[in-house]
Structure 1
Amino acid sequence: MKTNELIHRLRVQLKQLEQEVLQHDSQLPKGERKLLQDTERFNDNLFNQAGAQLGPCIDQLSKKIAQLEKLLQGNISATTIALACEGIQDRFTALRRALNTTALGVKSAEQQKASRIAHARKRRQKSHAQSGFNWIAAGVMNNSHQLYEELNKHMNWVHTFEQKIAHLQSKLENCHSADKIALQNEILLVHRRLGKCRQAISYIEDRIQAFERPYKHQNR
């Protein structure tokens, strides 16, 4: 095959593939682009590209064809030419395969994401079970909105306990000596509840920070 004919055929093949790639990239939903944004689609020796969009591969393949054209114009061995042609065909094959497997890549990325979320949820539930705050529903630990509701609930309880302690201490100052022990025991009990409630607030605040930290990193 003559040099000009070989290069012409490769460029025609590239042009056809470019149209498919442009259509592929233009039809990619935003969610799929985000899911695959860090996914390596090729071996490093084929394309330097990551993510769902395949447009950058066309430019790289075009440069390989231009390099082959220069080789054909020089005094280069047939073995070197054959290897260059083989490399170009390998890239065509890999790019076509990538066009046909984007949906599979998305599905795999979705499964991996779901697995990470499930693992994080299981880790939070285990931590919650070992925390000693079992009166807080485990499901609350997996929902940012419910965590804030739980935090607000405990803050209201702190206010209620503080008012009750103030009321009981006022009663203690004016009660008969026979009733003092009972009032002191009640004040002590409310103080314990207040302390436990404050500990729970610190615990919930820590869970909120742990829950929101990954999302803050993602939004940078």
Structure 2
Amino acid sequence: MSQALERLHQQVAKLAEQARLFDNAKWFDKNRYIQAQPSLFDRTVFATKSLILSDYIDEISAQLKHLPPMENRHAYGFAIQRIATQVEAVIKVLKSTPVWAKENKSNYKKKNKIYQKAVQKIMQSSHELYQELSQNHEFERRLMEMIDIRKQQLDKASAEQASQINQEILALHARLGRCRKAISATEAKIQAVEKQQNR
């Protein structure tokens, strides 16, 4: 997961360099339509209002630096998806210029696939960890429910039935112990990922 995030950082760093070349070449100076606009991009894509491409890369970099914690998976997923949309919007502008043509003519598809895989991997890893945790908590709840049911049956059971029910309760407790171990392991994985992100 940290590798996927690292690739995303590398992609943004590469775009920052291309945006700098783009701004230095003053591609928009001769475009009256662009010069008449308050912003290069729609306000639903970027909060930044500027005709300098590097300003938008700064916004992307700031968002990458301050991603929400993974435990808030909706906010985290939304932030990653927003960054993906913004990167694609910047790429669209760059693609229409000689800067992009020179640097990326043969490698665009390959680079774009790597970037998309990096985003997908981040989303998938985050989603899978929390899905795993949710499933384990559900197993824990069901096992505790089953133990409670067996204990209620124990009160009305004969001596022979009580022996069998007690064995079932012991087996359920063993399963519950393994389930709680799995919950702790998943929580440890999540904490490790969060530590890597916050470095």
What is the TM-score with the length of structure 2 in the denominator?
Answer: 0.40
Higher relative contact order (CA 8 A, sep 6+): 2
Rg larger in structure: 1
What is the TM-score with the length of structure 1 in the denominator?
Answer: 0.37
